[in-house]
Structure 1
Amino acid sequence: MSSPWIQGLRSAALFVPDLAQAEHFYTRTWQLDVAHRGDGVLYLRGTGSDAYLLALHQGGQVPQIRQVTLRARSREALDAIAAQVVAAGGTLLAPAHELGRDPAGGVGLKFKDPHGRVFEVVHGDTQRPEGAVVQDRPVRLTHVVLNSHAVDETQAFLQQALGFRLADRTGIMAFMNCDRDHHTIAIGISDNDALNHIAFLMPDFESVMRGGGRMKDAGFPIQWGPGRHGPGNNLFNYFLDPFGVVIEYTADVEQIDDRYEAHGPEHWKWPPGRVDQWGISPAPGAALKDAQRRVFFAPNP
């Protein structure tokens, strides 16, 4: 157990330009299910225990990220987090309260970090019984990557406010750990504070590959992959959704504990011409890199 307060990643919320188009893509092609409908919002679940993984809100002409939701280990953890957020320079947007309008329920708080990223932390939200693995369909979210123009500051905030620790750091990213998954939040070293991507855990290697074929058949080609990362050791295929949000199918995420030794950029180096362990796929192209700089947190979520 790394973080004394955070158990893991629960969901992400986005503003999208066309809710009907988003539903068609994320249910028919990405293979999520509708969990709940609200006024101007759609909640989509995977095959795992989380009540939902994505909350898609009707928005303006460009996609925006509304918030990232984490799950707390206890009700008491919410109070500790509230105090630490303020001490670390964040802004508490809503103290711990009953989430009556959220279909997953529970108690939660919301805050903004010093650079405008909005997080929600919940406890006691509804979870479904664990069922059988369903091939080719996302199980849960495994991580989000958020760009930062001030990576050291963002890393320090996540460590103080949420109890994360640094798992590894490469020349382009800082990987932050809270539980067994190698990383739950990663910080992309950049000149902006955009959403880099959202990663959906697939059951296995075959599901990552077949998912890539399904996306290609539907007109959404693989933007980067297939490959296997260094930090986290996970398999990957990256895509763009209809609005330009970068999403990832992944599997085989490395499971670690407190004995895991963090490494720096000098450790994570590839031979010339490689950008992952396998070296099969070319480096990410301009379309993917551009998309990883365009989706920002909504100023008034």
Structure 2
Amino acid sequence: MKSPWIEALRSVALTVPDLAAAEAFYTGTWQLTVADRADGVVWLRGSGADHHLLALHQAPGVPRILKVTLRARSAQALAHVAQAAVAAGGRVEATAGPAADPAGGQRVLLRDADGRRYEVVHGDARRPADVPPPPDQPQRLAHAVLNAPSVDAARAFLEPVLGFVLADRTRIMAFMNCDRDHHTLALGDADNAALNHIAFVMPTLDAVMRGGGRMKDAGLPPQWGPGRHGPGDNAFNYFVDPFGIVIEYTAEVEQIDDSYVPGGPADWTWPPGRVDQWGLSAPPSAALKAAQRAVVFQDDIGALRV
């Protein structure tokens, strides 16, 4: 299972109302590192090879998602996805040209019919991954989950345009694959197209648990977890950050290939009272569910460096 066009999820860009406070949280508590900064924006990296995982832009009001950035397998992929986006009912907001962030490279910027914005980059800068990785620092992004009023319509963009394929379908979510990670994007059944959550890969299960303790110490206890998912088989701990953005620590994401057989809703059910494989976690909190539909895509990116 592999997209011919997309290699991986690289980063997510968001607005926050207090950039200094956001930087303090994401470096001090969430354990990212500043990769670069400019007026009104900071780029934050993990211990892996990606230049950055988060771009945080200062903007008033509630947080908004600006874009999800995917890394292309080739320069030729940029032309394909731009042409295919229009054919699939989306639009091209920026044709192939230099990326606007310090990672550089070439990029195209696409929007689907529901307003989800995808940036596809090629030739962006990378850094030597930390070896061994720090024990409690996120390494890279595992996945981003985006809400969809119509999962079928959202898939009808992701599949022909970006080459994603369905890994599994549950009653409430479609897990979309582009390479060896079980899923890189997922689509959640919802009444809007908001950011559901962003998942950060930790080096070990212990790191997921220690991260949960660190968040609890900061007054931000888990809103779902710890637990182990069915699709993807990954350990999880979900939180709502100080600004209302849902973030996840995860580890042990299932690696799949063409022999993997996608499951349907009947394959992913739990006994009464369970919401994961372990059966220890309570269901997602009301606060988590509200936050999972609150961070919508910003329609006009204006002068933001996006």
TM-score by length of 1: 0.99
How far did residue 69 of structure 1 move? 0.2
- SS state of the match for residue 298, structure 1? coil
Instruction: Specify the alignment match of 1:131 in structure 2.
Output: 130
Aligned length: 300
Specify the alignment match of 1:208 in structure 2: 208
Query: 2:242 is aligned with what amino acid?
Result: P
Matches within 5 A, 1:215-226: 215-226=215-226
The amino acid of 1:25's aligned partner reads: F
Q: Structure 1 vs Structure 2: percent identity of aligned residues?
A: 64
Residue identity matched to 1:46? G
- Provide the residue aligned with 1:144 in structure 2: 144
Residue 293 (structure 1) aligns with: 293
The amino acid across from 1:189 in the alignment is: D
Q: Which amino acid aligns with 2:245?
A: V
Report 1:181-192 matches (<5 A): 181-192=181-192
In 1, Cα distance between the equivalents of 2:82 and 2:64?
Answer: 25
Residues 57-101 of structure 1 show CA distances to partners (whole Å, capped at 9, x for unaligned) of 0012100000000000000111111111111111000111022x4
Unpaired runs of at least 5, structure 2 = 302-306
Once the 2 structures are TM-superposed, how far is the Cα of residue 259 of structure 1 from its aligned partner?
Answer: 1.4
Shift of 1:155: 1.1
Q: Deviations over 1:105-136 (max 9, x none)?
A: 10001010110011100000000123211101
1:276 aligned to 2:276? yes
2:267 alignment partner in structure 1: 267
C-alpha separation in 1, matches of 2:136 and 2:40: 29
Q: In 2, Cα distance between the equivalents of 1:183 and 1:44?
A: 23
What is residue 304 of structure 2 aligned with on the other side?
none
SS in 1 for 2:265: coil
User: CA–CA distance in 2 between the matches of 1:7 and 1:104?
Assistant: 16
AA at the equivalent of 1:184: T
Specify the code of the residue in structure 2 equivalent to 1:284.
Answer: P
Letter in 1 for 2:243: F
1:95 to 2:95 alignment = yes
2 CA distance for matches of 1:285 and 1:126?
38
2:108 paired residue number = 109
2: CA distance, partners of 1:193 / 1:84: 21
Match of 1:245 in 2: 245
Q: Secondary structure at the match of 1:216?
A: helix
2:11 aligned partner:
11
Q: What is the deviation of 1:55? A: 0.3
Counterpart Cα distance in 2 of 1:160 and 1:75: 18
SS of alignment partner, residue 12 of structure 1: strand
The equivalent residue for 1:227 is: 227
Q: Distance in 1 between matches of 2:274 and 2:128?
A: 41
Cα deviation code 1:180-203 (max 9, x no counterpart):
100000000111111100000000
RMSD: 0.7
The SS at the match of 2:266 is coil
Q: How does 1:37-48 map to 2 (within 5 A)?
A: 37-48=37-48
Structure 1 residue 39: Cα displacement: 1.3
Letter in 1 for 2:123: G
Structure 1 residues 206-247: Cα deviation after superposition (integer angstroms, max 9, x where no partner)? 000000001101111111100000000000000011111000
Quick one: distance in 2 between partners of 1:61 and 1:181?
35
TM-score normalised by structure 2 residue count:
0.97
Aligned mates of 1:240, 1:95 — CA distance in 2: 35
